[in-house]
Amino acid sequence: MVVYLVYYVVVHTYLFDYSGETVDSNPFVEVTLSYALSYIAGTAFRRSSHAFDPAQFTILADNDYYSQPNSMSGTEKNPTRFAKFPTTLRGANKTGLGSSAALVTSLTAALLTHYLPPSEFDLTTSEGKRKLHNLAQAAHCAAQGKVGSGFDIAAAVYGSCRYRRFSPSILKSIPEAGAPGFAPALTELIDGSSWDTDIVKEGVCVPPGTALRMCDVDCGSQTVGMVKKVLQWREANPADSKKLWDELQSRNVKLGTILSEGKLDEIRPAVADIRELIRAMGTQSGVPIEPESQTSLLDALMEVEGVYNGVVPGAGGYDAVALLMKDDEATEKRVKDFVAKWSQEKGGQVRLLDVKGEMEGVRTENIKEYHGWIS
């Protein structure tokens, strides 16, 4: 019954447009449902109760996760928190904020909170966050083809942190979703102690008066494909790639120390050193991690008063840049004015997002905040 129920949900999970017509499937939703409900069933089985009451879930995406097609200048702001897009989800360009990780993490947390009692899952506890992290990591890796560092899931659960990836071999202990033994193996994996992830929040911060901000560059990149190419390059060139990787790690650690100690005058050269190696990695792997167009944009943004430096975040590509800048209205206005002018002159669309780097990760919100968006 449990396997049938899970597969019934997965097979019939689709996206709908506003006329109610089926338009697309979503592997991240489907895999998350399969993993989360299988884990819940395994946990409930220990209590001799494994029935699922019907439930309807509404998934809303904050505007900053996707490029706004109707905001053609860098100063316009959509008046609603959850804009209605004229395209399907597959047709919308991502801003590079980790929308798939946020989707998987929030949906997993909602399912666990809804179906399990607080004695089995409590989001406010360290144990609850540990279970959520493990389950969301497993589901997200399965949905995107078992590639990626997993940092986006860790950040979605814990907020800003220093993260060391778990050993990929951990996920090899479970069968494919729906295969015999999948549910009990998944439950044992999530609740067990085999995860060697290292997540540290102490000492992770930016100097007071400084903010981590992002600019959307309306283009969109296929993260999974880019990551696979970089991994293929690493496998084919183990010695050279390791040398570059180790030096990049060293420079990243140096930047973290500079930020935690508040040494503002050292931010710009430290980030420049990191970008140098990122471009070298892109050249050697044949992947546009920091494309020339993004290099030009970042170099120009550095000339804006109050901007220290910036990088192309995540796996890189054309969809976003992240900036370390002063956290004040004057600097924000200068950046918005600059990207509006840049967009007009270069023929693209660059927009400073409202979102800022935060220390807090997943949280339970008051349902009243979503009045009018859900029924």
In the chain, domain spans: 2-202+361-370, 210-356
Burial of 242 (0-12, 13-18, 19+ CB in 10 A): exposed
Q: What are phi and psi of 66, to 5 degrees?
A: -135, 145
The answer, yes or no, to whether residue 3 has pLDDT greater than 60, is no
CA 152-39-45 angle, to 5 degrees, is: 160
What is the three-class DSSP state of 366? coil
Rounded CA gap, 346 and 349, in Å? 9
| pTM for the model | 0.84
**Identity of the amino acid at 247:** E
Q: How confident is residue 295, by pLDDT bands cut at 50, 70 and 90?
A: very high
Q: What are phi and psi of 152, to 5 degrees?
A: -65, -35
Rounded CA gap, 136 and 39, in Å? 11
Record: fold of 2-202+361-370: Ribosomal Protein S5; domain 2 (3.30.230)
- Per CATH, 2-202+361-370 and 210-356 having the same topology is answered no
The β-bridge partners of 198 are 164
Q: Are 173 and 189 in contact (CB under 8 A)?
A: yes
Mean pLDDT of the chain: 85
Range scoring the smallest mean pLDDT among 20-34, 164-178, 295-309, 356-370: 20-34
CATH architecture assignment, domain 210-356: 2-Layer Sandwich (3.30)
Q: Classify 58 in phi/psi space as left (phi over 0), alpha (psi -120 to 50) or beta.
A: beta
pLDDT at residue 72, rounded to an integer: 39
Range scoring the smallest mean pLDDT among 56-60, 76-80, 201-205: 76-80
pLDDT in tens, 162-195: 999 999 899 988 999 989 999 999 999 999 999 9
Rounded CA gap, 100 and 150, in Å? 11
Rounded CA gap, 292 and 328, in Å? 29
The β-bridge partners of 164 are 198
pLDDT in tens, 68-96: 765 434 445 566 788 777 777 777 777 77
What average pLDDT does the segment 279-291 reach? 94
